[in-house]
Amino acid sequence: MVSREGVAFPWASKPAHIAWGTEGECYRNAYYLATENPDYTYVEGYAFGIIPIVHAWVVDSNGTVVDNTWREDLVESEDRAYLGIPLKLSYVNKVIVRREKFGVLDCWELEWPLMTGEHSLVEAMEELGGVIA
């Protein structure tokens, strides 16, 4: 689903005013960063470095990655790539309340509702720049 519907986002260094989140808690870190900054959009998908990893981050109003989990000293910037699905916080809230933990796409406890079509991907996706990504 991510390879078919996802958006490639450019990486940039984390802005200095954004604090690092807890290592290994990307879904939680990105969720709180998005809820505390209305100009940011929550995204889940894959971050690519040495190997691809399932990951969550936010993007700013220009669609640039703001990643407060994946430390910059772990992977060279030219080796980073992000592919993900921007999600509405209202949808993310609904899922994490039902699931009782952070993360939306790999939601096996609810039998992957976005992947099976139980939940509408179009309704869950956030619009970026006035157009659904």
Residue 78: predicted pLDDT = 65
User: Is there a contact between 26 and 64 (Cβ–Cβ < 8 Å)?
Assistant: no
Q: CB of 44 within 8 A of CB of 85?
A: yes
Helix (H, G, I), strand (E, B) or coil at 7: strand
Cβ atoms of 126 and 88 closer than 8 Å = yes
Q: Which has the higher per-residue pLDDT, 111 or 96?
A: 96
| pLDDT of 93 higher than 60 | yes
* Widest distance between CA atoms in the chain: 40
Instruction: Give the predicted TM-score (pTM) of the model.
Output: 0.87
Contact 57, 67 (CB under 8 A): yes
Q: Nearest Cα to 17, choosing from 3, 1, 36? A: 36
Domain boundaries, the chain: 2-132
Higher-pLDDT residue of 130, 37? 37
pLDDT tens digits along 28-64 = 999 999 999 999 999 999 998 878 889 999 999 889 9
Residue positions counted in the chain: 133
φ and ψ at residue 68, rounded to 5 degrees: -100, 20
- Residue 8's φ and ψ, nearest 5 degrees, are -85, 130
- Residue 132 has a pLDDT of 40
Two tokens, residue 121: 């991907």
* Residue 133: predicted pLDDT: 43
Distance of alpha carbon 6 from alpha carbon 51, whole angstroms: 18
62-87: average pLDDT: 83
> Is the model's pLDDT at 83 over the cut of 50?
yes
Residue 78: CB partners within 8 Å, gap ≥ 6?
none
Asked whether the predicted pLDDT for residue 3 surpasses 60, the reply is: yes
